[in-house]
Amino acid sequence: MSNYGIENYIDIVNGKTDKIVKAPNYDRYYDNELIEWWRKLATKRFDKLNSDGRLRNDLEVWTKDSNIDIIRWMRITIYKRYNEYISHDFPPQELDNIKQTCYSMGIKWYTISYTETEMIEYERLSKRHN
């Protein structure tokens, strides 16, 4: 559970005190810190898209007749029990790694969700690398 950088979070919630004791990570939750954290991630993503030639510069508007290339991801859902599970989204080229990881960790109860387009992309990538 996150304490948002407040060391005595439980005491404040329980009404035992109204004085805030800053934890070592207190400054991480200020606007500037959050913006800087996201800026680093966004810059890295932009640079990767730009270097791969996948940066989109045109305004894309979704209409009935539009032909927009949607970035698609597959999803794995791993079950511990029927009502206790985790999900992870990943690009089609990671499917083999995901399946190998499940096998090596002994994970037996999982589903992988994808559309026909995602499966075609996976097959295209696997043919290219085999």
| Domain ranges, ordered by start, for the chain | 9-51, 74-129
Q: Name the phi and psi angles at 73, rounded to 5.
A: -135, 150
| Rounded Cα–Cα distance for residues 90 and 101 (Å) | 13
β-pair type (110-113, 74-81): antiparallel
| Rounded Cα–Cα distance for residues 37 and 48 (Å) | 17
| Rounded Cα–Cα distance for residues 78 and 110 (Å) | 4
Task: Give per-residue pLDDT as tens, 115-128.
Answer: 887 888 888 877 66
Q: What is the pLDDT of residue 77?
A: 92
pTM: 0.42
